[in-house]
Amino acid sequence: MSAIPTLDPFDAYALWAASYPAHAHNPVMQAEQRAMLALLPPALHGQRVLDAGCGSGRYLLQALARGADHATGVDLSPQMLARAAQELETAERVGAPFVTVVLEDGSYSLIKLAQAGKKLDRYRVEFGPIDTVKMADACGVDGLRTTNPDELASAVKRAVERRRSLVIGVPVNDEDYRRLF
């Protein structure tokens, strides 16, 4: 009998991101959400929230619903960040601003790295450019593309001060990721 195949978490989240709901959709996630929400203060008025490992943005939305002035999500998976960005229209419509940074590399770069590390051929990891600034604009949200860290920091500061959502596209060369891993 052959072994059950397993995926690296980066590969799994990249594959899962497109269909990953921004709500607890099964009993395990519902239990996790009950525990997480019990830890989250019921009122976050005047607070800024950082969600490290934000995934689909589920807890960012919860923080905003509890009155947080601003919520920022970060995640190692570009695909999950893109999924969180899909919640922009909802956030803008209900007046709940947040900032997301999308690393624009034209590929599922972490899957590509995993395939290379396992000496596998590249398989369906390249795609055409996605214009995150236009995507933001279509949702009525401010967008910026930059490679300048000072410009990025300044734009985030302005967005927080003005209580505006912001999508920042940062063009990157996926070869630069190799230095990180």
Report pLDDT for 155. Answer: 94
Q: How confident is the model at residue 158 (pLDDT cuts 50, 70, 90)?
A: very high
- pLDDT one-digit tens code per residue, 14-73: 888 878 877 788 889 889 989 988 998 989 988 988 888 888 888 888 888 788 888 888
pLDDT category at 128 given cuts 50, 70, 90 is low
Judging by DSSP bridges, how do beta strands 98-104 and 142-145 pair with one another? Answer: unpaired
- Superfamily grouping for domain 9-15+43-179: Thiamin diphosphate (ThDP)-binding fold, Pyr/PP domains (3.40.50.970)
pTM: predicted TM-score of the whole model, two decimal places:
0.58
Residue with tokens 């950082």: 50
Sorting pLDDT into bands at 50, 70 and 90, what band is 180? low
Domain boundaries, the chain: 9-15+43-179
**What is the predicted pLDDT for the residue at 153?**
94
Three-state secondary structure call for residue 98: strand
